[in-house]
C-alpha cells in the first residue's frame, strides 16, 4: 500500500505543460498489481518506420513504459509468440500468422481488438486502423481498464477531418493558442516537430486528415516552393495515418497562374487546376483533397462567371478523382442583406444557394455544412440544408476553437451543444432522419460523409491555449468516429487520461464541464437570440447592438417593445418553411417552439410569456444572473482539487477560471443593462441597475484621473469609467468605505487593453493590500481589444479583506502605452454576495 501511495504522489509533482494532451501515459496508481498480467513483447507487423503499424508498436512500448514502468521489446515477425501484443493489418496477419477467418468484416480504418489474458491482438483493416486499435488499447490501460474484450470497432463515417485556419504569415484566424505550427513568413516552417506531435494526438482519436491552411486562402500556398513544404508536412503526418488537405483560393489561376480568368468552365482554367493537382500528387501521393470557400464573405467563386456552385466544386473534383481525392465544398454562402426588409434572412441563404443543385455535384464532392444556418452561435437550430441534399454527400462543420464561445478564456464544453444538432430528427419524408445518420451517409445511402472540425491549435504547449479546452478536441474526434457517443462518458475518458483516476477529480471536472455550456448560454445570449457578442470586432465580449443595423444578417430586431426574428412563413422570413413539414410546423407555431429557440423563430414583446411562465425580459435577467453565478462556482469547484493536480496545470486553469468568473459578470451586467435600457422594464428581483455593494470609480475623489464615457455604454457600470488624464500621468481615486465593519472580498473592475501594461495599486488607509498589472495579452495569451469595452473589461478580486467602517480606499493607476489605467468600479462583497 505504501508503495502505491508513493507512486501516486510522484505522479503529482511532475509539472505538466499540456504538450502530450491526453496521451501522457502517466503512471497508474497500483500499477505493480498488474505487471505480471501484461504482455511481455510487442510484435508490430511492419518494419518500415513510416508505417502506422510501426508507430503503433512504438506507442505501445512507450505506453507500457509510462503507465506501468514495464520495458517491452518490439519485433516485427514471430507473431505466434505467447504473451505478446500483435499489431498489424488483417492481411499481413493472415499472411504471417495464419488464418484470420474468425474475424468479423472490418471497414476502412476499422480495427479488431482482442485482449485475452496477456495475449493481445490489434488488427486493422488498413494500417491506420491498426494504429487506432493500439491507441484504444492504450486508452483502456491508462484508465485502469483491464477488461477482457474482443470486438470490432469501425468508424461511422470516412471523413473525420480537421480544419486549421492558419495563414502563411504564421497567424491563425480565430486561433487562441499561439502562432501556427505549420507556417511562418509565407512558407512552411523548417521544424515540424509540433506538426508530428499534432498528428499523433489526432490519430489517437481517429481523425484522419488536416486542412492545414485558412479557408480564406492565400493563392501562394500553391507555389512550387510551398508544395515542397507541404510535402514535408505530409511526410510527418503519414506515419500517423493523417492525410494532408488544402484550402484553395478560387481565383488562384489569375492570382498566381498568369491567366486572365478563373471561370470554372474555361479550358485554360481547367488545365491549370489539373496541373496543380498533378503537381501536388507527385509530391504527396496520399493527398486528401481540397476545401473550398467560394462566393462567401468576399471570397471569389463561380458566381462571378454566372456558374453554379456545383460547377465550381466539380472543377476540382475532376482532377482529384483519379487519385481518390475529394472536395469539401463549404455551404457557408450568403450575401449582405438589408434589415429594413422584414423578409430578408441570412439563415435562408444556404438552402437557397444549394437546393436546385442536389445531384449535380460529382461523387467525390462533399458539401460541408455548419451545424446551424448562421455561424457557430451558442445555440442555433439545425441547418435545414441537411434535409435538402439527398443525392449529395454532406459533412457537418463544427468549431472546436471557441470563436463566439469565450475564445478559450471561458470554460465551455461544447459536445452537448453539438449533440442538439447531431441528434436532431429532421423527419425527411416523415421518416426518422437524425443529422448524425445523414452525415454518416446512412440516411440517404451515401458512401462519403462525416465531420470537419475547425480546431486552430497553435504553438502554445497547451495547443488550444487552455488545458481544459482540450476536452473539446478529444470529444470532437470521438464524435467524428461515432456521432452517437455520449458527451459525458467521452468527457470522463478524457478526464481520466488527462488528470488521472481520482474520483473527486473526475466528478468535479465532469460537473464543471457539463454545466459550462448552459452557463455560457445563460450569461451571453439565451432564448435563441444568438451569442450577443460583438460581431463587428473580436467576437469575444458583449455588444448586442452590433448585431443590428448592418448587412451581416445576424439581426435581433430588438426595439423598445419587442425582440426576435420572425422566421415564420405566415408573417416572417419564411425560413421555417425550409424544414420538412413536421419540423416546419413545430417552429412555425410559437406554442410548439421550444423556449430556447423562441427568439430565433419569433418576434415577440419583452412581456411575452414563455412556456416556463416567465416573461422574455425576466428570463433574460434571471438567466444572466444564474449563468454568472454558476461561473463563480467553477472556481470554487476547481479549488477543491488543489493538491490533486500538478501545480502547473492547477495554477493555469485557476487563473482562467478566475478570469471567467469576473468576465461572466461583465457579460451579465452588459446584457441586462442593455435590455433594461431598451425596454425600460425593471427586473422583478430589483438586481439590474441596483448594486448596493459597488462604488463607482467616477464617484470617487479623482486626481490625475478623469471620467470616460464607455462605448458601448452597457459595458461600464453606470456607463462611465475613469482613465488617467494623460498617458504619463499617475492617477489616484479615493473614497471612504461606509459599509459595516467586517471581512469582505474586494473586487476591482478595470479594463485590460492591449498596447499597454498599466499598473494599479490598492491601499486601505495607506496600507497596500494589493497590486496588479494589465498584462492579459501575455497571461491569457489573447489580445481582446484596444478599447475600453466588453472585451477588455475584467475584474480582479482580493479575498478576505478586513474593512472598518470609514476606512479610506485608494487606487493608484499608472498608465502604460495606450492603456490609461482604466477603472470601472469597486465591489465590496460580503460573504456569499456576487456582484
Ligand X SMILES: *[C@@H]1O[C@H](CO)[C@@H](O)[C@H](O)[C@H]1NC(C)=O
β pairing state of 604-605 and 562-563: antiparallel
The string of DSSP letters for 372-439 reads SSSSS-SS-PPPGGGGT-SSSEEEEEEE-S-TTTTTTTS----HHHHHHHHT-B--GGGS--BHHHHH
| Alpha carbon distances (Å) from 433 to 347, 454, 583, 594 | 21, 25, 11, 20
For ligand X, give the closer residue by CB, 114 or 531.
114
Write the binding mask 529 to 568 for ligand X: x where contact by CB under 6 A, - elsewhere: --------------------------------x----x--
CA distance 628 to 467: 22
The single residue among 56, 60, 72, 79 that binds ligand X, judged by CB under 6 A, is 79
Does 194 bind ligand X (CB under 6 A)? Our answer is yes
- Among 26-34, 478-486, 529-537, 776-784, which window interacts with ligand X (CB under 6 A)? 776-784
**Residue 386 or 825 with smaller CB distance to ligand X:** 825
* Residue 91 vs 425, nearer CB to ligand X: 91
- Taking CB under 6 A as the binding criterion, the range among 246-254, 507-515, 657-665, 774-782 that sits at the site for ligand X is 774-782
- Using rule CB under 6 A, residue 824 touches ligand X: no
CB of 481 vs ligand X, minimal distance in Å: 12
Q: Which stretch binds ligand X (CB under 6 A): 59-67, 285-293, 453-461, 731-739?
A: 453-461
Q: Which stretch binds ligand X (CB under 6 A): 92-100, 245-253, 384-392, 511-519?
A: 92-100
- List the x/- string, 633-672, binding to ligand X by CB under 6 A: ----------------------------------------
- Please pick, from the candidates 63, 129, 319, 465, the single residue that binds ligand X as defined by CB under 6 A: 465
Shortest separation between residue 767's beta carbon and ligand X, angstroms: 25
Q: Is 571 in the site for ligand X (CB under 6 A)?
A: yes
CB of 200 vs ligand X, minimal distance in Å = 13
Give yes or no for residue 501 binding ligand X (CB under 6 A): no
- Shortest CB 445 distance to ligand X, Å: 4
Region binding ligand X by CB under 6 A among candidate stretches 23-31, 77-85, 545-553, 670-678: 77-85
- Binding flags for ligand X, 304-333, as an x/- string (CB under 6 A): --x---------------------------
Q: How far is the CB of 406 from ligand X (least distance, A)?
A: 14
Strand partners, 829: 745
Please report whether residue 48 would count as binding ligand X according to CB under 6 A: yes
724 binds ligand X (CB under 6 A): no
Residues 595-634 that bind ligand X (CB under 6 A): 603, 605
What would the grid cell of residue 3 be? Answer: 508503495
- Angle separating helix axes 647-679 and 616-639, nearest 10 degrees: 170
Residue from 3, 78, 11, 94 nearest 43 by CA: 78
Among 544, 580, 627, 781, binds ligand X (CB under 6 A): 781
Closest CB to ligand X among residues 32, 442: 442
Q: Nearest to residue 195, comparing CAs of 230, 246, 159, 158?
A: 230
CB of 459 to ligand X, least distance (A): 6
Nearer residue to ligand X within complex by CB, 245 or 710: 710
- Report the distance separating Cα 125 and Cα 128, nearest Å: 8
DSSP string covering 673-724: HHHHHHH-PPPTTS-TT--TTEEEGGGSEEESEEEEE-SSGGGSGGGEEEEE
233 binds ligand X (CB under 6 A): no
Query: Among residues 720, 725, 734, 761, which is the contact residue for ligand X, using CB under 6 A?
Result: 720
Calculate ∠ Cα 678-679-681, nearest 5°.
Answer: 135
* Integer CA distances (angstroms), 640 to 72, 160, 708, 799, in order: 38, 37, 40, 17
The three cell numbers locating residue 505: 477529480
Footprint of ligand X on 683-712 (CB under 6 A)? 696, 698-699
| Cα 10 from Cα 2, distance rounded (Å) | 12
Contact of 300 with 294, CB cutoff 8 Å:
yes
Nearest distance from C-beta of residue 50 to ligand X, angstroms: 5
Cβ nearer to ligand X, comparing 417 with 565? 565
Q: Which of 101, 102, 148, 224 binds ligand X (CB under 6 A)?
A: 224
- From the number of C-beta atoms within 10 Å of its C-beta (0-12, 13-18, 19+), residue 550 rates as middle
d(CA 239, CA 261) in angstroms, rounded, equals 39
Return the number of other C-beta atoms located less than 10 Å from residue 612's C-beta: 10
Binder among 355, 727, 761, 775 for ligand X (CB under 6 A): 727
Q: Choose the binding region for ligand X from 96-104, 321-329, 480-488, 529-537 (rule: CB under 6 A).
A: 96-104
CA distance 466 to 790: 21
CB closer to ligand X, 196 vs 629 = 196
Stretch that binds ligand X, among 93-101, 324-332, 520-528, 614-622 (CB under 6 A): 93-101
Cell, residue 819: 492603456
Residues 6+ apart with CB under 8 A from 246: 211, 212, 213, 217, 221, 222, 230, 280, 287, 290, 291
Do 479 and 422 contact (CB within 8 A), yes or no?
Answer: yes
In the bound complex, what is the minimum distance in angstroms from residue 492's beta carbon to ligand X?
9
| Residue whose entry in the numeric block shows the C-alpha cell 487552455 | 466
Question: Of these, 612, 818, 830, 833, which contacts ligand X (CB under 6 A)?
Answer: 818
CA nearest neighbour of 415 among 503, 480, 501: 480
Q: Is 154 in the site for ligand X (CB under 6 A)?
A: no
Nearer to ligand X, 103 or 140 (CB): 140
Q: Which of 147, 148, 185, 430 binds ligand X (CB under 6 A)?
A: 147
Which position among 57, 175, 178, 500 is part of the footprint of ligand X (CB under 6 A)?
A: 178
**Contact 752/783 with Cβ under 8 angstroms?**
no
What is the smallest separation between the CB atom of 800 and ligand X, expressed in angstroms?
A: 26
| Residues ≥6 apart with Cβ < 8 Å to 345 | 337, 553, 565, 567, 573, 574, 575
Q: Which of 145, 260, 504, 741 binds ligand X (CB under 6 A)?
A: 145
Sort strands 41-44 and 73-75 into parallel, antiparallel or unpaired. parallel
Nearer to ligand X, 398 or 464 (CB): 464
Q: 718 CB contacts (<8 Å, ≥6 apart)?
A: 696, 698, 825
Task: Supply the residues annotated as catalytic.
Answer: 297, 375, 403
Minimum gap (Å) between residue 410 Cβ and ligand X: 13
Cell digits of residue 262: 478563373
Choices 60-68, 142-150, 157-165, 346-354; region in contact with ligand X by CB under 6 A = 142-150
Is 551 exposed, middle or buried, given 0-12, 13-18 or 19+ CB atoms closer than 10 A? exposed
Taking CB under 6 A as the rule, does residue 275 contact ligand X? yes
Total binding residues for ligand X by CB under 6 A? 51
Report the length, in residues, of the chain: 835
Q: Which of 82, 279, 336, 741 binds ligand X (CB under 6 A)?
A: 279
Interface with ligand X includes 459 (CB under 6 A)? yes
User: Are 294 and 250 spatial neighbours (Cβ–Cβ below 8 Å)?
Assistant: yes
- Could you tell me the three cell numbers for 91? 492481411
127 binds ligand X (CB under 6 A): yes
* Candidate residues 11, 74, 103, 149; the one interacting with ligand X per rule CB under 6 A: 149
Q: Which residues lie near ligand X (CB under 6 A)?
A: 46, 48, 50-51, 77-80, 89, 92, 96-98, 127, 140, 145, 147, 149, 178, 191, 193-194, 224, 275, 279, 306, 342, 445, 447, 459-462, 465, 561, 566, 571, 603, 605, 696, 698-699, 718, 720, 727, 778-781, 817-818
Amino acid at each position: 500500500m505504501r508503495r502505491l501511495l508513493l507512486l501516486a504522489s510522484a505522479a503529482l509533482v511532475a509539472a505538466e505543460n499540456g504538450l502530450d494532451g491526453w496521451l501522457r501515459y502517466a503512471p497508474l496508481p497500483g500499477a505493480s498489481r498488474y505487471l505480471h498480467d501484461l504482455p511481455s513483447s510487442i510484435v508490430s507487423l511492419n518494419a518500415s518506420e513510416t508505417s502506422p503499424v510501426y508507430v503503433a508498436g512504438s506507442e505501445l512500448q512507450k505506453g507500457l513504459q509510462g503507465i506501468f514502468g514495464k520495458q517491452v521489446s518490439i519485433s516485427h515477425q514471430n507473431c505466434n509468440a505467447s504473451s505478446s501484443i500483435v499489431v498489424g493489418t488483417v492481411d499481413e496477419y493472415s499472411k504471417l500468422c495464419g488464418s484470420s477467418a474468425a474475424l468479423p468484416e472490418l471497414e476502412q480504418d476499422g480495427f479488431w481488438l482482442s485482449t485475452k489474458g496477456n495475449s493481445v491482438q490489434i488488427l486493422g483493416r488498413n494500417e491506420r486502423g491498426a494504429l487506432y486499435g493500439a491507441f484504444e488499447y492504450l486508452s483502456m490501460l491508462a484508465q485502469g481498464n483491464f477488461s477482457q474484450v474482443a470486438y470490432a470497432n469501425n468508424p461511422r463515417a470516412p471523413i473525420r477531418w480537421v480544419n486549421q485556419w492558419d495563414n502563411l504569415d504564421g497567424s491563425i484566424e480565430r486561433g487562441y493558442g499561439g502562432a501556427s505550427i505549420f507556417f511562418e513568413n509565407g512558407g512552411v516552417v523548417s521544424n515540424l516537430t509540433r506538426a508530428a506531435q499534432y498528428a499523433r494526438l489526432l490519430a489517437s482519436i481517429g481523425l484522419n486528415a488536416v486542412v492545414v491552411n485558412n479557408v480564406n486562402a492565400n493563392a501562394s500556398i500553391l507555389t512550387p516552393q510551398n508544395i515542397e513544404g507541404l510535402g514535408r508536412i505530409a511526410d510527418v503526418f503519414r506515419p500517423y495515418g493523417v492525410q494532408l488537405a488544402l484550402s484553395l483560393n478560387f481565383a488562384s489561376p489569375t492570382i498566381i497562374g498568369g491567366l486572365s480568368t478563373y471561370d470554372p468552365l474555361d479550358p485554360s482554367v481547367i488545365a491549370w487546376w489539373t496541373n496543380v493537382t498533378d503537381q501536388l500528387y507527385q509530391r504527396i501521393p496520399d493527398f486528401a483533397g481540397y476545401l473550398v470557400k467560394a462566393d462567401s464573405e468576399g471570397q471569389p467563386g463561380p458566381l462571378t462567371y454566372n456558374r453554379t456552385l456545383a460547377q465550381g466544386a466539380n472543377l476540382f473534383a475532376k482532377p482529384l478523382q483519379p487519385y481518390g481525392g475529394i472536395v469539401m465544398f463549404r455551404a457557408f454562402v450568403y450575401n449582405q442583406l438589408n434589415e429594413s426588409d422584414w423578409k430578408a434572412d441570412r439563415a435562408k441563404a444556404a438552402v437557397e444557394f444549394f437546393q436546385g443543385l442536389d445531384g449535380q455535384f460529382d461523387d467525390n464532392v462533399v458539401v460541408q455544412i455548419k451545424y446551424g444556418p448562421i455561424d457557430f452561435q451558442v445555440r442555433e437550430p439545425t441547418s435545414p440544408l441537411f434535409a435538402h441534399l439527398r443525392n449529395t454527400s454532406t459533412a457537418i462543420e463544427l468549431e472546436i476553437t471557441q470563436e463566439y464561445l469565450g475564445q478559450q478564456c471561458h470554460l465551455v464544453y461544447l459536445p452537448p451543444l453539438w449533440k442538439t444538432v447531431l441528434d436532431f430528427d429532421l423527419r425527411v419524408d416523415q421518416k426518422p432522419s437524425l443529422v448524425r445518420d445523414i452525415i454518416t451517409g446512412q440516411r440517404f445511402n451515401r458512401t462519403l460523409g462525416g465531420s470537419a472540425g475547425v480546431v486552430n491549435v497553435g504553438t502554445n504547449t497547451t495547443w488550444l491555449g487552455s488545458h481544459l479546452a482540450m476536452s473539446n478536441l478529444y470529444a470532437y474526434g470521438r464524435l467524428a468516429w461515432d456521432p452517437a457517443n455520449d458527451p459525458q462518458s467521452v468527457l470522463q475518458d478524457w478526464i481520466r487520461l488527462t488528470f488521472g483516476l481520482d474520483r473527486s477529480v473526475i466528478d468535479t471536472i465532469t460537473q464543471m464541464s457539463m454545466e459550462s455550456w448552459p452557463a455560457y448560454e445563460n450569461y451571453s445570449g439565451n432564448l435563441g437570440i444568438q451569442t450577443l457578442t460583438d460581431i463587428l470586432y473580436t467576437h469575444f465580449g458583449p455588444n448586442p447592438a452590433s448585431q443590428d443595423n448592418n448587412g451581416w444578417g445576424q439581426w435581433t430586431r430588438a426595439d423598445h417593445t419587442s425582440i426576435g426574428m420572425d422566421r415564420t412563413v405566415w408573417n416572417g422570413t419564411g425560413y421555417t418553411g425550409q424544414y420538412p413539414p413536421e419540423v416546419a410546423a413545430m417552429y412555425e407555431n410559437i406554442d410548439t417552439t421550444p423556449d430556447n429557440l423562441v427568439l430565433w423563430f419569433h418576434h415577440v414583446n419583452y412581456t411575452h410569456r414563455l412556456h416556463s411562465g416567465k416573461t422574455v425580459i425576466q428570463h433574460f435577467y434571471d438567466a444572466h444572473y444564474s449563468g454568472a453565478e454558476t461561473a463563480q462556482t467553477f472556481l470554487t469547484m476547481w479549488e477543491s482539487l488543489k493538491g490533486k493536480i500538478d501545480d502547473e496545470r492547477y495554477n493555469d486553469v485557476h487563473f482562467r477560471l478566475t478570469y471567467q468568473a469576473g468576465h461572466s459578470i461583465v457579460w451579465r451586467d452588459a446584457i441586462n443593462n442593455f435590455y433594461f435600457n431598451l425596454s425600460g422594464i425593471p427586473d422583478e428581483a430589483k438586481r439590474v441597475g441596483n448594486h448596493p455593494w459597488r462604488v463607482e470609480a467616477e464617484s470617487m475623489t479623482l486626481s490625475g484621473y478623469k471620467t470616460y464615457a464607455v462605448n458601448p455604454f452597457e459595458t461600464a457600470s453606470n456607463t462611465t469609467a475613469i482613465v488617467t488624464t494623460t498617458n504619463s500621468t499617475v492617477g489616484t481615486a479615493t473614497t471612504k468605505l461606509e459599509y459595516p465593519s467586517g471581512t469582505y472580498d474586494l473586487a476591482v473592475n478595470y479594463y485590460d487593453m492591449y498596447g499597454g501594461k498599466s499598473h494599479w495599486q490598492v491601499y486601505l488607509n495607506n496600507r497596500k493590500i494589493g497590486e496588479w498589472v494589465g498584462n492579459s495579452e501575455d497571461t491569457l495569451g489573447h489580445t481582446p481589444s484596444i478599447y475600453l469595452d466588453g472585451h477588455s473589461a475584467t475584474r480582479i478580486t482580493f479575498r478576505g479583506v478586513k474593512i472598518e467602517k470609514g476606512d479610506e480606499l485608494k487606487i493608484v493607476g499608472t498608465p502604460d502605452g495606450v492603456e490609461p489605467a482604466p477603472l470601472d468600479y469597486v465591489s465590496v462583497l460580503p460573504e456569499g454576495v456576487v456582484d
